[in-house]
């Protein structure tokens, strides 16, 4: 066990020296894979203050320092708030679900943590599991800092849980003064009002998977649609969180979606359909042709075909020949199965049901194998794993054409901003949009 801990510390120190970007003398923001930050509730630095998730605010309540403990190459995680208190497992209990708090520093296992890097290529500002020293190795079990399996909401309490390597136990370290959060370092994102402007330009955007992976289709100087008689779409990029930059994936496309595993599916300018393989090494071609594509968290994938009919083009879902549930993987043999109706844009909600927009802008959702008409007119549509649905409206209201569905009033409400294409992951109320100039924006605040 000691050998493992020494390796973790050794490699972190050597990577720090190599990168010269961050050292253990720095303070860090600790960001959950879901996008929110480890925060002392209400900024109260007193002993017993709960530690929760929160949107970034840059305060001392979100700043942490890793201080080497007295033995065994293990760390205290010290709050930036006055008082120098540390992250502590309440009462030192090892039960799954035990919450964490701030407490006065003691020589106790409840306050000592091992940092286990899960991606060695990212340097100190990378992705980690954070393991408590309570009951280490007892019955061959280990407990990690965990956000819980529920929604990624402000105020979500942080706890420990048996190691499972799920996104709930993955944390990114961002150096204070040099991180994506506060605009330091080489990060070129800019906060403008309630929105964050990303570098670069894109024709389409997609976000999804357990880590809210973001992908874009590069900008060609004007919007590109399937069937346009122009060069073959834009290049495909993904946002690298630790590096705060776009990384080219390879290939070109016009429309993109992200499945429940974080793998992109695309449609190129001639309508050919591809899915990225699970090893992220190449693209797998699927049969058929499409104008738009959408993957849902239930595993279902839908397309808008290229066969013109009244109202747009045919609507299809992927059915695997090998999976009894009919979903399967893109690499499985299968076929696209048509349903009635026609559309030009499509998304898939948390239950695997499609929502569509037809050629005149009318909006429909699929319920009980029937199409239900909704009010309003739209140009693009996106549904989140949390049940939120957003559209780019056909018209403006209060200076905005971005709307969110409100099931209580059975209508759409503007959220501010202007866009052309829209996508949303599991971060509540934080959709991405691209606009007519190709700019890439994300909603920063609800």
- Cα–Cα dist 339/286, whole Å: 19
Identify the pLDDT of residue 332: 59
Burial of residue 294, with CB atoms counted within 10 A of its CB: 0-12 exposed, 13-18 middle, 19 or more buried: buried
- Cα–Cα dist 221/4, whole Å: 51
Pairing of strands 213-218, 301-309: unpaired
Order of strands, sheet of 202-208, starting from the edge strand that comes earlier in the sequence: 202-208, 213-218, 234-240, 245-253
The helix/strand/coil state of 353 is: coil
Residue 421's beta-bridge partner residues? 434
The helix/strand/coil state of 355 is: strand
Identify the pLDDT of residue 12: 29
Domains along the sequence of the chain with CATH: 2-175 (2.80.10.50), 190-443 (2.120.10.80)
- Cα–Cα dist 93/100, whole Å: 10
Identify the pLDDT of residue 444: 82
Identify the pLDDT of residue 308: 96
- Cα–Cα dist 295/326, whole Å: 14
Pick from 98, 73, 75: nearest CA to 86 = 75
Per run of 10 residues, the mean pLDDT along the chain (length 446 residues) is 30 27 75 92 92 88 87 83 92 95 94 84 72 83 91 93 93 73 55 86 91 88 69 81 83 94 93 90 94 90 96 93 56 82 97 96 96 97 94 88 93 92 86 90 83
Phi, psi of 167 (to 5 degrees): -55, -25
Q: Do 184 and 177 form a contact (C-beta atoms < 8 A)?
A: yes
Buried residues in 386-415 as b, exposed as e (16+ CB within 10 A)? bebbbbbbeeeeeeebbbebeeeeeebeeb
What is the token pair recorded at 431?
């959709």
């Amino acid at each position: 066990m000691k050998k493992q801990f020494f390796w973790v510390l050794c490699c972190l120190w050597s990577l720090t020296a190599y990168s010269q970007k961050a050292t253990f003398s720095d303070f860090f923001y600790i960001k959950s894979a879901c996008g929110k930050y480890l925060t002392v509730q209400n900024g109260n630095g007193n002993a017993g203050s709960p530690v929760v998730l929160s949107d970034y605010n840059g305060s001392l309540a979100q700043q942490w320092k890793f201080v080497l403990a007295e033995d065994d190459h293990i760390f205290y995680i010290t709050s930036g708030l006055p008082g120098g208190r540390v992250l502590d497992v309440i009462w030192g209990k090892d039960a799954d679900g035990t919450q964490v708090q701030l407490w006065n520093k003691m020589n106790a296992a409840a306050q000592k943590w091992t940092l286990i890097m899960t991606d060695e290529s990212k340097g100190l500002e990378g992705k980690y599991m954070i393991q408590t020293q309570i009951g280490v190795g007892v019955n061959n079990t280990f407990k990690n800092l965990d956000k819980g399996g529920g929604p990624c909401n402000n105020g979500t309490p942080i706890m420990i849980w048996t190691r499972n390597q799920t996104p709930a136990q993955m944390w990114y370290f961002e150096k204070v003064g040099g991180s994506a959060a506060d605009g330091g370092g080489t990060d070129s994102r800019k906060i403008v009002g309630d929105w964050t402007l990303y570098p670069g330009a894109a024709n389409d955007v997609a976000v999804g998977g357990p880590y809210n992976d973001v992908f874009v289709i590069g900008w060609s100087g004007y919007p590109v649609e399937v069937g346009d008689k122009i060069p073959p779409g834009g290049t495909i990029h993904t946002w690298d969180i630790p590096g705060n930059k776009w990384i080219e994936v390879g290939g070109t496309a016009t429309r993109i979606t992200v499945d429940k595993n974080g793998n992109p599916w695309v449609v190129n300018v001639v309508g050919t359909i591809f899915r990225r393989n699970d090893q992220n090494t190449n693209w797998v071609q699927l049969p058929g042709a499409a104008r738009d594509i959408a993957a849902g968290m239930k595993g279902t994938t839908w397309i808008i075909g290229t066969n013109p009919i009244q109202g747009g083009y045919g609507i299809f879902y992927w059915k695997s020949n090998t999976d009894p549930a009919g979903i399967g993987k893109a690499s499985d043999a299968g076929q696209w199965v048509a349903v009635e109706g026609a559309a030009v844009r499509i998304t898939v909600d948390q239950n695997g049901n499609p929502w569509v927009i037809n050629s005149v802008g009318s909006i429909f959702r699929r319920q009980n194998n029937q199409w239900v008409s909704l009010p309003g007119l739209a140009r693009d549509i996106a549904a989140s794993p949390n049940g939120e649905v957003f559209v780019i409206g056909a018209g403006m209201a209060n200076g905005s054409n971005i709307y969110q569905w409100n099931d209580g009033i059975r209508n759409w409400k503007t959220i501010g901003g202007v866009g052309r294409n829209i996508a949303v992951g599991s971060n509540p109320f934080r959709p991405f949009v691209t606009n007519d100039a190709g700019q890439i924006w994300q909603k920063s605040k609800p």
